[in-house]
Amino acid sequence: MITRGSKYFYGAALFGYLSALLYGFVTGASDQGGVVAVFTDGAVVDSIIGPLTLGWKGWVGEHIGYTVLLTFAGVMAVLGGFQTATRDSDAESIAALEGIEASDLPPASVPAGISWWPMLAALGTGVVIVGLVFSNVALWGGVALLVVAAVEWTAKAWSERATPDAAANAEYRSRLLQPVEVPLAAALIIAVVAVAVSRLLLAIPKSAAVYVVIGIAVVIFAVANLLATRPELKGRVLGIVVFVSLLVIIAGGIAGGIAGTRDIEEHHGEGALATSGGLPAVVDDLRAPG
């Protein structure tokens, strides 16, 4: 029996295989003068047989895309087979196949929750690869992300198995990492906000920069007062508000960085140094006799 989880993989495999056939047919027909020409010249059989037989008979057009789609279909089919063989990792189904009573199975452990650190590690790996090609700044930024993900992921894995009590495990993790996480996160947020706001202010006209700064200060003050007067709001709501605000500020900083710095006029002094030719001229006047 095909399990529910394996149906998604089999569906993806079928989609990949049909896409490979269509891709091979269209690109192969374009090499022969086009799809219409293939039908009119009687070469449609070779255009269809080629993708079906992996190019053994007939022809296939663009081989790289055709191979990628076939590889995707094969991987999805293999994963679907694993899901079918393991019955979607359902312990009761596997026990029934092996003749074991469900009452004899050990109690299931409570899931520890979603961990974001593997995704951060994947992001850091991607940034490192991009940095190797384009920029040393991106390279070391990716390395920093990998270090943070490794430390946090290790601490989370340790704390979840420290004791059978989930609340005590969370407390242990907080005691271990919060004295380091809070100041580092605060310093990072301040640095990101300062850089983003500076890029934005340097990109817009000087007359508008004043009103932008005042507007940002008013919004921050209003949001802070709202959160202070509503202590019943959950921590998740506060986190969403802070996260969205950071995204807006960072987006503004990126837009300002892309737009570039506005033309800044050079300011010259109007005092005695400017009117007398600068400091060397004043020194010469003092040294002159009389």
Tens digit of each residue's pLDDT (9 = 90 or more) over 59-113:
787 888 888 888 999 999 998 888 887 766 665 666 665 666 656 555 555 555 6
- pLDDT of res. 273: 47
Q: What pLDDT band is residue 128 in, cutting at 50, 70 and 90?
A: confident
- pLDDT of res. 213: 83
The mean pLDDT of the chain is 76
Q: Is the pLDDT of residue 282 over 50?
A: no
- pLDDT of res. 95: 61
- pLDDT of res. 48: 77
For 32, what's the count of Cα atoms within 13 Å in the CB-facing half-sphere? Answer: 25
pLDDT tens per residue across span 15-29: 999 998 888 888 877
Compute the distance between CA of residue 179 and CA of residue 25 in angstroms, rounded to an integer: 61
Compute the distance between CA of residue 232 and CA of residue 240 in angstroms, rounded to an integer: 15
pLDDT tens per residue across span 235-256: 667 777 777 887 888 888 778 7
pLDDT tens per residue across span 132-184: 877 787 788 888 889 988 988 888 888 877 777 777 877 878 888 888 888 88
- pLDDT of res. 176: 82
Compute the distance between CA of residue 157 and CA of residue 186 in angstroms, rounded to an integer: 24
Q: What pLDDT band is residue 267 in, cutting at 50, 70 and 90?
A: low
